[in-house]
Amino acid sequence: MARDAPGGDSCEELDQTKYDADENVKIICLGDSAVGKSKLMERFLLDGFRPQQLSTFALTLYKYTTNVDGKNILVDFWDTAGQERFQSMHASYYHKAHACIMVFDVQRKVTYKNLNNWYKELREFRPEIPCIVVANKIDADMKVTQKSFNFARKFNLPFYFVSAADGTNVVKLFSDAIKLAVAYKQNSGDFMDEVMRELENFELQKKGEDSDKEENYPEEKPPST
Amino acid sequence: MTYVAKKCGIRFQPPSVILIYEDENKDRARQRIMPIRNFSKFSDCSRAAEQLKNNPRHKAYLQGVSLRQLQKLYSLLRGHLQGKSLAQSLEQIQQEETTDPEEDLNKLDDKELAKRKSIMDELFEKNRKKKDDPDFTYNVEVEFPQNEQLESCGWDAESDNEF
């Protein structure tokens, strides 16, 4: 499970409260070493490629601004910088993520097999966020695109064949991931998110006033019954 | 002045890297012999390759020769100094140049992982469409429909209980 509680002291420098703002989304990349996660990011961002290395967290952040349905959206892509070699990511990596891009290398079976572990860990922390499964390096052997990969179908996840080298479906992958992240955020059905939000509200109110606690207690259900 | 490298090889005795190149201004092939000094069977081939490539006297000529190729040439020389036959050295280089697709790269240390990555990068660079290429398109969309009729990738079969 978690190696540390979300938002624990060890991540003080990493301010993740901004991800609560409507226009900010966080998208995480998962997958084994050398499946091409960073290469995909670089291909998508091209000139706008300016990663922020946070070596203490074995983490690379890529910032990206875009427009979804007429709204400006600031995207933070989280990419690992070797942390995946622990076969597990720090809890703060998953914290407040709105979508996940999960990558394997079509040339290496072990990276496909390990999707199972990555997916399990993802769901421990983020049970509901959209997750896209990505088969990278199809340029190495186009024949693989004629084959079926059941992992995505089994969990009912979107599945893309891509190549960071020749660019096939890279832009589509990232723009779809952003749309999914924004949509998720707008109708966040994530139970944990709601629980967290309620807890935060509850704390604030306790600090504020103690008197009409009953009436102010945040309710999820509509008031009329 | 631009030199176009045509061929690059190694001579064991006396040890030297030999380059056949064309001078863009004169239209004919020339040969450049770069003697190798201070190299023994214990030397580090990648370091030697880097030093040669960055050598101020040879730099301009070696622009078209990859670091990897130079490394390979030094490995051949080192193999020779260790008393190996050419075939043996070549086989060893071949082994170092290919990755084992079954290997779990998550379990390697930084140095070994970097090695595997650089081997894989070669294919990446070969297939890469750069943004300065004339036929570069930013958004390349290709549909690959996944359906039941497709042949299985073979990676699901033995693990039906897993996936």
Residue B125: inside a domain, yes or no? no
Average pLDDT for A134-147? 96
Average pLDDT value over all residues in chain B:
89
Domain count, chain A: 1
- Residue in chain B lying closest to A144 (CA): B153
Q: What is the Cα–Cα distance from A94 to A9, expressed in whole angstroms?
A: 16
For the cut 50, the answer to whether the pLDDT of residue A29 exceeds it is yes
Residue A157: inside a domain, yes or no? yes
Residue A3: inside a domain, yes or no? no
- Indicate which CATH number applies to the domain containing A164: 3.40.50.300
The one-letter amino acid at B54: N
User: A35-59, pLDDT tens digit by residue?
Assistant: 999 999 999 999 777 788 887 778 8
User: A72-102, pLDDT tens digit by residue?
Assistant: 999 999 998 888 887 788 899 999 999 999 9
Q: Which 3 state secondary structure label does DSSP give A103?
A: strand
Domain count, chain B: 1
| Among A87, A75, A76, residue whose Cα is nearest residue A31 | A87
Whole-number pLDDT of residue A156: 94
The range of the structural domain enclosing residue A43 comes to 18-189
Whole-angstrom distance between the N-terminal and C-terminal Cα of chain A?
A: 39
Residues of chain B with C-beta less than 8 angstroms from the C-beta of A140: 123, 127
Residue B122: inside a domain, yes or no? no
Helix or strand holding residue B89 (H, E): helix B86-97
The rounded radius of gyration (Å) of the Cα atoms in chain B is 22
pLDDT means over runs of 10, chain B (163 residues) = 90 96 86 95 94 95 92 95 94 82 87 88 92 93 87 77 47
Sorting pLDDT into bands at 50, 70 and 90, what band is A164?
very high
Most confident of A87-101, A123-137, A182-196: A123-137
Alpha carbons within 13 angstroms on the beta-carbon side of residue B60 total: 8
Contact B137 A164 (CB under 8 A): no
B127 touches chain A (CB under 8 A): yes
Whole-number pLDDT of residue B99: 80
The range of the structural domain enclosing residue B77 comes to 3-97
Structure tokens at B25: 């201004």
Residue A209: inside a domain, yes or no? no
**Which phi and psi angles does B36 have, rounded to 5°?**
-100, 120
Residue B121: inside a domain, yes or no? no
Residue A207: inside a domain, yes or no? no
Q: What percent of chain A has pLDDT over 70?
A: 78
Q: What is the Cα–Cα distance from A185 to A99, expressed in whole angstroms?
A: 9
Whole-angstrom distance between the N-terminal and C-terminal Cα of chain B?
A: 60
Distance of residue A49 Cα from the nearest chain B Cα, in angstroms: 13
| Among A37, A33, A191, residue whose Cα is nearest residue A103 | A37
